[in-house]
Amino acid sequence: MSEIQDFEGRLALVTGGASGIGLGCCELLVARGATLVLADIDEARTHEAARRLGAQALVLDVSDHAAVQAAQARLQAQGLHVDLLVNCAGIVQSPDTPADLPHAEFQRVLAIDFEGTYSCCAVFGSAMARAGRGAIVNIASVAGMRSMPLHAYSPAKAAVISLGECLAAEWGRSGVRVNTVSPGYTVTAALQSQIDLGLRDPEKLKAHSALGRLIAPRDIARVVVFLLSEEAGVLTGINVPADAGWLVAGSWQTFGGVRAPQPR
């Protein structure tokens, strides 16, 4: 079955679009008719993914506010207005203690995961507000909703969730909706590498979710695209935990875990 072409004539910009969840969002947006600007810091992968999807490639370091401003100016000079923005660029960190976490790594995680999201919202979202239309989805994480030994990543993602609420109220009367998606354990290249190194057990990750499964980037992309669509026209300022029920299942571990499936 072909995708509904409900984004015809609309320009979408996806940061972190060359891999993982960002790439999944790019693929689904193009399938549903959007014109795409694919932004990522990895030059080779950015151009390859953009070529494959028929998108405009934008090599961008979201932690560089001046570079984000310059990217907006270039698009504007081309007569292009971003209607849909997905902020997916981000990095992860190792679960170090505060004593072992290098301060430079702490700063880098915040600069990309939070400040980069803020910069793209401030630059592209402000242009949307001036135009009186637009929709933004920021990618946070369930790590921003629970205590974890991720003393840079978790606070950064919590800040992204708060930012979405703030900007939703800021721009609501200007016709711009801002929502957040908080993925659970999603099989991106980063998670797969940890699994391959034996640092994560996929069976344990599945066991700690209500649905008993891991998540694919395409699963998250479907939630993102829904929030961008007119079907979600009354939704703004919300955070959707797309986590296969990880948040609700965690406390069941003290009772031996989530129950087995009912017999059929």
- Report the catalytic residues: 153
* 108 burial type by CB count under 10 A (0-12 exposed, 13-18 middle, 19+ buried): middle
Of 178, 136, 140, 168, whose CA–CA distance to 156 is shortest?
A: 140
Q: Count CB-CB contacts under 10 A for residue 204.
A: 9
First to last CA, the chain: 30
Residue 259, both tokens: 């129950």
CA distances from 204 to 76, 94, 102, 148 (A): 48, 18, 29, 16
Q: How far apart are CA 52 and CA 183, in angstroms?
A: 26
CA distances from 72 to 26, 67, 193 (A): 19, 9, 34
Identify the residue whose tokens are 């700063």: 107
Helix (H) or strand (E) holding 135, with range, is strand 134-139
Q: How far apart are CA 200 and CA 30, in angstroms?
A: 33
Q: How far apart are CA 201 and CA 213, in angstroms?
A: 12
Residue type, 226: F
